[in-house]
C-alpha cells in the first residue's frame, strides 16, 4: 500500500487515534496492560459473567495485550501507539492482512457474553458502555446497525470481522470506518 494519498493516510491515522483513545480506559494518555485488564474487569462486572466466562474473557483480552507487547509496567503514549499501528497496518501486504484477521477472534469471543455465536445489541451496549461511555444510545445503536450488515439484529462473527477489517486496514472514508469505535476523534 505505497501509493496512498496524504488524505488516506491522515484518515487512517485518525481511526487509530480514535481506537487508542477509546482503549485508554483509565484515560491516562498511555496504552498499557492496565487498560486491557480494566476492560476484562468491566466486561465481567457489566456483563454479569460467571466465573468460567470471566476467566476466558480475561485470557482473551490479555492475549491482545500480549500481542501488543504490553508487559506489566510497559506504557506507550496513545499518540505513539496510533502512529505505530497506522504505519504497521498500512505497510502490510493484503495476504498478511487476511492472515491477521484471526487476531480479532478473541475480541469477538469476549464480546459474545452468552457464547451463542453472535453479538446482540445488549451485548454490544455493554462493550460500548466500557469504551465509549459518553455516547448516546442512538450512536451505539447506529454503530451496531452498521456492523450488522444483513440487519438481522445480531452481529455474526463474519460481520464483525468484515467491519473490523475495514476499520483496521481500510483507507476509504466508509461509514463503518467512521463509527466502528464511535465517532472519529482528531
Ligand atoms: Ca491508559
Ligand atoms: Ca451473544
Ligand atoms: Ca447480522
Cα–ligand 1 centroid distance for 3 (angstroms): 34
- Residue 73 belongs to a domain: yes
Whether 182 contacts 17, CB under 8 Å: no
- pLDDT tens digit sequence for 67-110: 999 999 999 999 999 999 999 999 999 999 999 888 889 999 99
> What pLDDT, on a 0 to 100 scale, did the predictor assign at position 103?
85
- Domain count for the chain, please give it: 1
Spatial distance between the Cα atoms of 128 and 29, rounded to a whole number of angstroms: 19
In the numeric block, the cell 476492560 is attached to 39
Q: Which ligand has the nearest atom to the CA of 116?
A: 2
- pLDDT tens digit sequence for 142-170: 999 999 999 999 999 999 999 999 999 99
- Residue 12 belongs to a domain: yes
Cα–ligand 1 centroid distance for 69 (angstroms): 15
Cα–ligand 2 centroid distance for 181 (angstroms): 19
CATH, residue 16: 1.10.238.10
Q: pTM for the full model?
A: 0.94
Cα–ligand 1 centroid distance for 167 (angstroms): 21
- Residue 183 belongs to a domain: no
Cα–ligand 3 centroid distance for 76 (angstroms): 35
Cα–ligand 2 centroid distance for 119 (angstroms): 4
> What pLDDT, on a 0 to 100 scale, did the predictor assign at position 2?
64
- Residue 19 belongs to a domain: yes
- Residue 27 belongs to a domain: yes
Cα–ligand 3 centroid distance for 35 (angstroms): 29
Spatial distance between the Cα atoms of 184 and 153, rounded to a whole number of angstroms: 24
**Mean pLDDT score of the chain, rounded to an integer?**
95
> What pLDDT, on a 0 to 100 scale, did the predictor assign at position 1?
52
Whether 36 contacts 70, CB under 8 Å: yes
- Residue 42 belongs to a domain: yes
- Residue 24 belongs to a domain: yes
**What contacts 24+ positions apart, CB below 8 Å, involve 69-74?**
70/31, 70/32, 70/33, 70/36, 71/33, 72/33, 73/32, 73/33, 74/32, 74/33
Where in the sequence is the domain holding 13, given as residue range(s)?
A: 6-178
- Residue 1 belongs to a domain: no
- pLDDT tens digit sequence for 40-52: 999 999 999 999 9
Amino acid at each position: 500500500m505505497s501509493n496512498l494519498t496524504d488524505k488516506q493516510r491522515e484518515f487512517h491515522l485518525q481511526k487509530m487515534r480514535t481506537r487508542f483513545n477509546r482503549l485508554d480506559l483509565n484515560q491516562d494518555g498511555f496504552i498499557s496492560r492496565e487498560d486491557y485488564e480494566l476492560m476484562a474487569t468491566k466486561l465481567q462486572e457489566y456483563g454479569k459473567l460467571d466465573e468460567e466466562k470471566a476467566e476466558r474473557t480475561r485470557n482473551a483480552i490479555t492475549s491482545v495485550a500480549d500481542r501488543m507487547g504490553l508487559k506489566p509496567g510497559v506504557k506507550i503514549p496513545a499518540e505513539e501507539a496510533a502512529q505505530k499501528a497506522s504505519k504497521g497496518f498500512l505497510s502490510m501486504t493484503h495476504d498478511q492482512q487476511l492472515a491477521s484477521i484471526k487476531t480479532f477472534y478473541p475480541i469477538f469471543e469476549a464480546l459474545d457474553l452468552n457464547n451463542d455465536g453472535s453479538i446482540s445489541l445488549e451485548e454490544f451496549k455493554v462493550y460500548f458502555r466500557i469504551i465509549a461511555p459518553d455516547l448516546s444510545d442512538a450512536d451505539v445503536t447506529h454503530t451496531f446497525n452498521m456492523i450488522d450488515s444483513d440487519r438481522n439484529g445480531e452481529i455474526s462473527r463474519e460481520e464483525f470481522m468484515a467491519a473490523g477489517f475495514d476499520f483496521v486496514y481500510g483507507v476509504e472514508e466508509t461509514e463503518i470506518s467512521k463509527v466502528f469505535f464511535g465517532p472519529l476523534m482528531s
